[in-house]
Structure 1
Amino acid sequence: MATGMPNWLKQRAFLTPERTALIFENRTWTFAKVYEEAAKRTAALYKRGFSKGDRIGLLIRNTPEAVVLIHAMQQLGASAILLNSRLTAGELVWQLKDAEAAAMIYDPAHEGIAKDIQAELPCIESVQLSGEEMPVIREEFSLEDTCSIMYTSGTTGKPKGVRQTYGNHWWSAAGSAFNLGVSERDCWICSVPLFHISGYSILMRSVIYGVPIRLHERFNEDEINAVLKQGEGTIMSVVAATLSRLLRSSEGSYHENFRGMLLGGGPAPKPILEECAERGIPVFQTYGMTETSSQIATLSPEYSLTKLGSAGKPLFPCQLRIAAEGGEAPYKEGEILVKGPNVTVGYLNREEANKEAFVGGWFHTGDIGYVDEEGFLFVLDRRSDLIISGGENIYPAEVESVLLDHPAVIEAGVTGVTNEKWGQVPAAFIVEKEPVEEEELRRFCQSRLAKYKCPAYFIKVEGLPRNASNKLLRRELRNQFERDTF
């Protein structure tokens, strides 16, 4: 029997209609107003012939209209396919076909690529919404229904559509609240894309908790630092690259209202964590992915300094273990396996991938890590990014952390490149803060790392390849090295 609960936005608008839901630039919306606007959008969708169960692609920016549209999809009962606007038309066509989308909705900024998509896929209806009609608003959500579909970045083979249910998003929000708490003063800063789980989950927490989000169309460190200094935001989701930019463009700590940075997107360089500790900026390192509907492990506030570098313990409804050779034991490295009600029900139309990913009820993440004697998780790297040199494992994140400790290095990315003698050796891509000689970097690494971990190559670049969430794309570094395009 399906588990139902009241329609989130409708219930929130009923319970706290005048509470602020959304802040964008100099405008604010209450939950009642967001619900009113979402009802109009739902009516427009209904008028176009869309109904519960349809899969609809969304090609959107971080705007109030996008927030309303996402909520409207839920009112109707359609599944939102969140499309990454950085992809090419061909890549988006592939995802829309794979998901068997009924239509694609886009905002004016994406009109050009939308036309390219429709030229390749004329059976897909491209829609810019307008008009009103009596909406059909759902009274309840079934926690088993698919709420959203997000495609993975496709590090191996074609991207896979991750199905996220209402239950997944509900338990993700609940697990986060059990750990970090919810304050009536909370305001979550959202400068990450709404089409990524990092941004989408903030929107879901907002309506479930009844707290506002301060939406930014894009990340701008000066704007966000000003907001944090003025006490207008309490929590913010970041990755190491964006946190580093915030630190570089500001001094000291933030307003006392600020509760902390939720730091995800892979292992965090220790120099960044140490600088935050020195400046009194709380950082809660977290571990999660599209398949876990955001966080699945997060460091609790009381351990933010004593367990520096750890992603914490599993959230209350979740479980985690390490698949290590010879069995699990403290500090033994292996693949991270997770289980919980926020874990995806599976990949869309990927029977074989689901069999490989889910074994005995546990989801295989493909990430490498270990737990200490107290059960705190330490994430080492993606298994696909692991460098094996002469039989020794080298974790790029460890080498990057050392390089970032050098005062002349502002960004660092490390990847494995082919070597006849050792199989692979590390190559380091460096963005300089000030000029530095390769030999100086080599000596610096040799003083802190085992010889086999030290980069064989140092390549100076203007910037590092990152995705829309600012995660480092190490496979692109490897491709650049092989093509010699740096």
Structure 2
Amino acid sequence: MSLGCPIREGAARAPEAEALTFAGRRWTYRLLDEAVGRWVAALQAWGVKPGSRVGLLSANHSDAVHLFFALGRLGALLAPLNARLTAKELAPLVQEIVPDLMLAQDALAERLPGAERLEAWAGALPEASTECLPREASTPRVVLFTSGTTGRPKGAVLTEGNFRASARCSAANLGAFPAPRWLGTLPLFHVGGLSMLSRCAYDGGCLVLQDRFDADAVNHALDHEGVTHASFVATTLERVLDARADRPVPASFQLALIGGGPVPAPLLARARAARLLALQTYGLTEACSQVTTERPAEADGQTAGAALPGLEVRIVGPEGQGLGPGQEGDIEVRGPTVMAGYLNRPEATHEALGGGWLRTRDVGVLDGRGRLRVLSRRTDLIVRGGENLYPVELEAVIASHPAVQEVAVVGVPDARWGEVPVAFVVPRAGQAFPLDLDDWCRRSLAGFKVPSRFLALEALPRNAMGKVERTALRQRLSPP
């Protein structure tokens, strides 16, 4: 089955419907179709063709949107690079991509030697090209690098079919909503940001794009831009509620997807009180964002929800055997959103996909209704004297302390136990560091689960997606 460009399709179907807003500018589907056509012409003049690879170093910007869809029309591959990385960190990624063209924003260009300036390209575009090559679902669309916290980053190759399936499966879970307006604060170099972008295009909606997360800007968009959907992590959700002093969101707002790990129950309660329906999710780059998500009518904040319609999730044991409800094991995923493989990594691809299921290496458990509870990302698991400790369980208890703003638990080497948990705690504003955390934990946790130390921080280190950088926390510690 040949697939076309969703922006071209939207321009034919509803040319004056709004498709994109950014920094005070607005594009209807007709205007966005024309802008993408001009980028197609510029790329063709450079020699970009089917199978070409284009690297991009940019914060969220309308030019990145135009480039994404233009490369899709040419059957070329986009490699969006993390705008927070240093030149040293970027160099091996560029070597992995071997790009035919590199583009970078002026403010970031010194980190990417040899890159063309994005602003110069945008200011000198030729007449629009009508080129829109049909492509198959298997056509590589994007390569996104995993965080690399456990070693050399791997580039997950996502196809046109992956993005279309992700949009279709998400819509089936959330329910039909004509012309949604998604708030785009997630970075477009991350699968979450690109999934929102493509989801809007396939659903005939509008992406309300912001260059970065800012709580006041988010609330302005909620109150004045008709935003219906958004994606947050727990920290950004709390900052939005703090900034609006828990004032209810407008009735036009439908729901927010919350990724990056479980959300503390008190925060979910705050969101509900503000009429903000927050749905917990579980996903990963290799599965084109969402894998499971709570269903709007059934959300209770207890799990990350069931598999999206069209996807399968199972739990397996050490020997690959399937496990039943309530049994802890590795999370595996199967369905049309699963990546084609890792760029230039046949062995890693076979390891991840060889059995027909995506081996996530994350740990979880399914309940009797097929809902997933994520116990630990594989790299976060703490093994203390042969006992598996899941940071999320410890963090939930510590976060329930009234003086705690946020917390992260990591494992550190220990001569006696192999590993022990250490908790990094950020106190709430105006509150002293709580000295009773050990006792607090022992009321709810077995003694071997209680952190060996509780250390104060002003803020937890986070990446561009708002996820805690646990590697940075471990580096702060020396073996006791």
Q: TM-score range by the shorter chain?
A: over 0.9
> Does 337-346 or 259-268 show the bigger shift?
259-268
TM-score (norm 2): 0.94
CA contact (8 A) 1:269 1:397 kept: no
Q: CA separation in 1, counterparts of 2:16 and 2:128? A: 24
CA contact (8 A) 1:313 1:375 kept: yes
Q: CA separation in 2, counterparts of 1:113 and 1:34? A: 30
Q: Against the structure 1 CA distance between its residues 134 and 31, is the aligned structure 2 distance closer, same or farther, given a 3 Å change threshold?
A: closer
Which residue does the alignment assign to 2:106?
Answer: 108
Q: Against the structure 1 CA distance between its residues 56 and 154, is the aligned structure 2 distance closer, same or farther, given a 3 Å change threshold?
A: same
Query: Does 2:466 align with 1:456?
Result: no
1:483 is displaced (CA, Å) by 9.2
Query: Does 2:307 align with 1:309?
Result: no
1:337 is displaced (CA, Å) by 0.3
The amino acid across from 2:185 in the alignment is S
Q: CA separation in 2, counterparts of 1:161 and 1:167? A: 18
Q: CA separation in 2, counterparts of 1:73 and 1:432? A: 46
1:471 paired residue among 467, 471, 474? 467
Q: CA separation in 2, counterparts of 1:339 and 1:172? A: 12
Which residue does the alignment assign to 1:99?
Answer: 97
Counterparts of 1:336-351 in structure 2 under 5 Å? 336-351=331-346
CA contact (8 A) 1:24 1:64 kept: yes
CA contact (8 A) 2:34 2:128 kept: no
Any idea what the Cα deviations from partners look like across 1:173-216, whole Å, max 9, x if unmatched?
Answer: 00011111232352100101011011011110111111011111
Q: CA separation in 1, counterparts of 2:377 and 2:465? A: 16
1:296 is displaced (CA, Å) by 1.5
Any idea what the Cα deviations from partners look like across 1:105-164, whole Å, max 9, x if unmatched?
Answer: 1122222223xx33xxxxx76764234156361242221110111000112221001000
Q: CA separation in 2, counterparts of 1:407 and 1:146? A: 48
SS state of the match for residue 302, structure 1?
Answer: coil
Any idea what the Cα deviations from partners look like across 1:213-263, whole Å, max 9, x if unmatched?
Answer: 111111111221233244721110111111121222221421111111101
Query: Does 2:51 align with 1:57?
Result: no
CA contact (8 A) 1:267 1:380 kept: no
1:327 is displaced (CA, Å) by 4.1
Query: Does 2:360 align with 1:362?
Result: no
Counterparts of 1:8-407 in structure 2 under 5 Å? 8-114=6-112, 117-118=113-114, 128-129=120-121, 130-132=124-126, 135=129, 137-184=131-178, 186-230=180-224, 232-250=226-244, 251-305=246-300, 308-324=301-317, 327-407=322-402
> Does 206-215 or 227-236 show the bigger shift?
227-236
CA contact (8 A) 1:46 1:136 kept: no
The amino acid across from 1:441 in the alignment is L
> Does 102-111 or 77-86 show the bigger shift?
102-111
Which residue does the alignment assign to 1:5?
Answer: 3
Q: CA separation in 1, counterparts of 2:73 and 2:83? A: 24
Which residue does the alignment assign to 1:121?
Answer: none
CA contact (8 A) 1:4 1:143 kept: yes
Q: Against the structure 1 CA distance between its residues 97 and 276, is the aligned structure 2 distance closer, same or farther, given a 3 Å change threshold?
A: same
Q: CA separation in 2, counterparts of 1:98 and 1:380? A: 33
The amino acid across from 1:312 in the alignment is G
CA contact (8 A) 1:231 1:255 kept: no
> Does 188-197 or 415-424 show the bigger shift?
415-424
Which residue does the alignment assign to 1:480?
Answer: 476
Structure 1 unaligned blocks of 5 or more: 119-123
CA contact (8 A) 1:56 1:78 kept: yes
Q: Against the structure 1 CA distance between its residues 140 and 185, is the aligned structure 2 distance closer, same or farther, given a 3 Å change threshold?
A: closer
1:369 is displaced (CA, Å) by 0.5
Q: CA separation in 1, counterparts of 2:334 and 2:276? A: 31
Q: CA separation in 2, counterparts of 1:327 and 1:68? A: 44
CA contact (8 A) 1:231 1:257 kept: no
The amino acid across from 2:310 in the alignment is P
1:58 is displaced (CA, Å) by 0.8
Q: CA separation in 1, counterparts of 2:26 and 2:60? A: 15
The amino acid across from 1:356 in the alignment is E
Q: CA separation in 1, counterparts of 2:478 and 2:223? A: 44
1:383 is displaced (CA, Å) by 1.3
SS state of the match for residue 281, structure 1?
Answer: coil
Structure 2 unaligned blocks of 5 or more: none
What is the root-mean-square deviation of aligned Cα atoms in Å?
Answer: 1.9
1:93 is displaced (CA, Å) by 1.6
Q: Against the structure 1 CA distance between its residues 396 and 34, is the aligned structure 2 distance closer, same or farther, given a 3 Å change threshold?
A: same
Any idea what the Cα deviations from partners look like across 1:365-423, whole Å, max 9, x if unmatched?
Answer: 01111001111111111011011112211111111122221222112111001111211
Q: CA separation in 1, counterparts of 2:419 and 2:128? A: 63
Q: CA separation in 2, counterparts of 1:25 and 1:406? A: 40
Q: CA separation in 1, counterparts of 2:400 and 2:242? A: 14
CA contact (8 A) 1:231 1:258 kept: no
Q: CA separation in 2, counterparts of 1:367 and 1:476? A: 20
SS state of the match for residue 477, structure 2?
Answer: helix
Any idea what the Cα deviations from partners look like across 1:263-296, whole Å, max 9, x if unmatched?
Answer: 1112323332233234432111111111011111
The amino acid across from 1:291 in the alignment is E
Q: Against the structure 1 CA distance between its residues 288 and 411, is the aligned structure 2 distance closer, same or farther, given a 3 Å change threshold?
A: same
CA contact (8 A) 1:21 1:212 kept: yes
Which residue does the alignment assign to 2:436?
Answer: 440
The amino acid across from 2:477 in the alignment is F
Q: CA separation in 2, counterparts of 1:184 and 1:287? A: 25
CA contact (8 A) 1:271 1:401 kept: no
SS state of the match for residue 360, structure 1?
Answer: coil
Q: Against the structure 1 CA distance between its residues 455 and 276, is the aligned structure 2 distance closer, same or farther, given a 3 Å change threshold?
A: same
Q: CA separation in 1, counterparts of 2:209 and 2:322? A: 45
Q: CA separation in 2, counterparts of 1:270 and 1:417? A: 27
1:46 is displaced (CA, Å) by 1.0
CA contact (8 A) 2:180 2:228 kept: yes
